[in-house]
Amino acid sequence: MAWFRSLNTPISDWQGRRVWIVGASSGIGAALAADLDARGARLALSARSAGRLRDVAEGMRDVMVLPLDVTDAGAFTPAMMQILDAWGGLDLVILNAGTYTPLRAWDLTTDTARQTVHTNLLGVMDGVAAVVPQMLRQQCGAIAIVGSVAGYRGLPKALAYGPSKAALINFAETLYLDLAPQGVSVFIINPGFVATPLTAQNDFDMPALISAEDAARRIVRGFAGGAFEIHFPQRFTRVMKLLRWLPDRLYFSLVSRGTRP
Ligand SMILES: NC(=O)c1ccc[n+]([C@@H]2O[C@H](COP(=O)([O-])OP(=O)(O)OC[C@H]3O[C@@H](n4cnc5c(N)ncnc54)[C@H](OP(=O)(O)O)[C@@H]3O)[C@@H](O)[C@H]2O)c1
């Protein structure tokens, strides 16, 4: 029955699968690249730092390094053309590039806000715009967007990051409505805390912190499940989901008390 079918086509056989990871030079993206390489995927790796991408690609079987800056709207199309020249198609793009600057209301500068939204939101939209025509031609394939549980509700210090991730969740839902009927899967990946360069700047004990390698394994397991949302670690993300349903007064009070230094 359609009600019980997974929302996306599950991905479990990675042998020869053509995967483009944007934001692959460190953290979760680099760990995903290593995991998928070990499972036999063909990889295209993008981020700004060509040197770090080459380090990640070192020793991999079938890999292309395609440096790009996601804030350069014109950068995606040439990279996509290189991918199509080499592979003739694309099975999965993982839009994982992201940036985080802790911001309180009194630190807010429009420069930081713009840079965050440009990288985290517009950078994903430009990536999606570059791959959708090919996915529609193929009538199959998958787009995975890395959001965050910080997009569920407002959290301290996430003044620009949180809204960018909340917008991504909405964007992925809207994209799903259009693309799923065309045979194209859309996944939103919402991690909790993962130990990476991005979170190394946090000055508090991160609850339920996991390694990037563990995050990569959970993402791969999520693709095999075929659900729209992949969120982890669930001991943490389930609590965050529950908090979404609290009345504002209770939510603000709990979060203020729970995050007080
Ligand atoms: N770590 C966590 O706890 C956590 C939790 C929830 C969600 N996330 C999300 O997970 C994703 C990966 O983050 P991470 O924790 O693995 O951090 P990370 O190690 O800092 O990785 C960020 C990646 O994005 C790339 N990137 C940043 N700005 C870019 C730009 N303008 N153009 C191209 N690439 C760019 C970086 O490469 P270059 O610097 O070489 O460009 C790097 O490869 C992000 O979207 C983040 O928001 C992380």
**How far is Cα 120 from Cα 98, in angstroms, rounded to an integer?**
5
Residue 205 has pLDDT above 80, yes or no: yes
CA distance 185 to 176: 7
The CATH number assigned to the domain with range 2-258 reads 3.40.50.720
Q: From the CA of 53, give the closest atom in ligand 1.
A: 40
Mean pLDDT score of the chain, rounded to an integer? Answer: 96
Q: What is the 3 CA–ligand 1 centroid distance (Å)?
A: 35
Residue 4 has pLDDT above 80, yes or no: no
pLDDT band at 260 (very low <50, low <70, confident <90, very high): confident
Give me 201's structure tokens: 């700047």
Sign of the Cα torsion 149, 151, 156, 158 reads: positive
The reported pLDDT for the residue numbered 1 is 55
Instruction: For residues 138 and 90, give the distance between their C-alpha atoms in angstroms, rounded to a whole number.
Output: 9
Cα of 146 from ligand 1 centre, angstroms: 9
The reported pLDDT for the residue numbered 203 is 86
pLDDT digits (tens, 9 = 90+) for 209-240: 999 999 999 999 999 999 999 999 999 999 99
pLDDT for the residue numbered 143: 98
Mean pLDDT of 26-32: 98
pLDDT-based confidence at residue 17 (cuts at 50, 70, 90): very high
Whether residue 249 has pLDDT greater than 60: yes
Nearest atom, ligand 1, residue 30 CA: 43
Q: pLDDT tens-digit profile of 152-196?
A: 999 999 999 999 999 999 999 999 999 999 999 999 999 999 999
Going by pLDDT thresholds of 50, 70 and 90, the confidence category of residue 113 is very high
Does the beta carbon of 115 lie inside 6 Å of ligand 1? no
Please work out whether the CB of residue 230 comes within 6 Å of at least one atom of ligand 1. Answer: no
Q: Range with the lowest mean pLDDT among 1-15, 110-124, 180-194?
A: 1-15
For the segment 51-67, the average pLDDT, to the nearest whole number, is 98
Nearest to 64 by CA among 132, 78, 74: 78
Output 203 or 31, whichever has higher pLDDT: 31
The domains of the chain are located at: 2-258
161 is catalytic: yes
d(CA 35, CA 32): 5
146 lines ligand 1 (CB under 6 A): yes
